[in-house]
Amino acid sequence: MRTILIDDREKTPFGFPSHDGSKQVIHKLRHRLLTGDYSLLGLEDFVAIERKKASELFHTVGAGRKNFIAELRRMEVIINRGGYAAIVVEGSLRQVIGLGEASDIAMTARGVATAGVGRRVTAEQVIGTLTTWSVMFRVPVWFAGGLAHAEALTFGLLCSSEQRARMRPASMRPELNAPECGAVDPKTGTECRRAKGHVEIEGLDHEGRKPGTPRSITWNV
């Protein structure tokens, strides 16, 4: 399995197993991801898994709504190009409902009608909004339960996405066959060079654009 990318803003990232089913070592790399919290090296534009804790959903639907909709739109782009994107919730629907009820009790005891910034978000609003977003952007939402199940589910989604990526036509998956640095791919005319901690592939496009059109594909190493 290729290297798992973990967004460097994840404070307590999933550990993931050290070896896959074929006993191959699984490498992990902290990296700033544009979309999602977990992806695969070379497939950042093909797979994105967003991780949320049940307690975070209230902020996501409330004060963080605008930013998360922008995230969903980027995930939709990945899906439209044939990739996979999903939201994995570390928690259950029952937990979301319980958190909403606990908030109601606490606020009633304090005699207030709002929590934090803006109006209070209820569990019903969280569930309803996630349902709407899932249909609107075609991004599945997985309620995985506890930490162990959320980690296992995320790992499974990454593995399945990599297998699916390998089924794409060769012309659509240059990231799976990157030449060694300094080498030239005779089929695509691409040349690989290393610069500032990245591997860049430059050469002629072979995905339907006019011959001679330059392109650049970057791998983190």
Query: What DSSP designation does 119 have?
Result: B
- Do 126 and 193 lie in one domain? The reply is no
- What CATH number did the domain enclosing 133 receive? 3.40.50.10130
Helix (H) and strand (E) counts for the chain? 5, 9
Q: How far apart are alpha carbons 35 and 107 in whole angstroms? A: 35
Within-domain flag for 172: no
Within-domain flag for 171: no
Model pLDDT for residues 149-178, shown as the tens digit of each residue:
999 999 999 999 999 988 877 666 645 444
- Do 148 and 181 lie in one domain? The reply is no
| Reported pTM | 0.72
Q: At what angle do helices 123-137 and 93-110 cross, to 10 degrees?
A: 140
Q: How many domains does the chain have?
A: 2
- Do 55 and 117 lie in one domain? The reply is yes
- Do 129 and 104 lie in one domain? The reply is yes
Which residues on adjacent β-strands are paired with residue 89? 52, 143
- Do 112 and 185 lie in one domain? The reply is no
Read out DSSP for 138-158? T--EEE--SHHHHHHHHHHHH
- Do 137 and 111 lie in one domain? The reply is yes
Q: At what angle do helices 65-80 and 123-137 cross, to 10 degrees?
A: 30
Q: How far apart are alpha carbons 152 and 157 in whole angstroms? A: 9
Predicted local distance difference test score (pLDDT) of residue 120: 83
The H or E element containing residue 65 is helix 65-80
Q: Are the beta carbons of 49 and 38 closer than 8 angstroms? A: yes
Model pLDDT for residues 60-116, shown as the tens digit of each residue:
999 999 999 999 999 999 999 999 999 999 999 999 999 988 865 554 444 444 444
Model pLDDT for residues 112-123, shown as the tens digit of each residue:
444 444 468 999
Predicted local distance difference test score (pLDDT) of residue 172: 64
Q: At 55, is the secondary structure helix, strand, or coil?
A: helix
Q: Domain limits at 182?
A: 177-220
- Do 118 and 160 lie in one domain? The reply is yes
- Do 12 and 77 lie in one domain? The reply is yes
- Do 193 and 130 lie in one domain? The reply is no
Model pLDDT for residues 24-69, shown as the tens digit of each residue:
788 999 999 999 999 999 999 999 999 999 999 999 999 999 999 9
- Cβ neighbours of residue 111 under 8 Å, at least 6 residues apart? none
- Do 159 and 205 lie in one domain? The reply is no
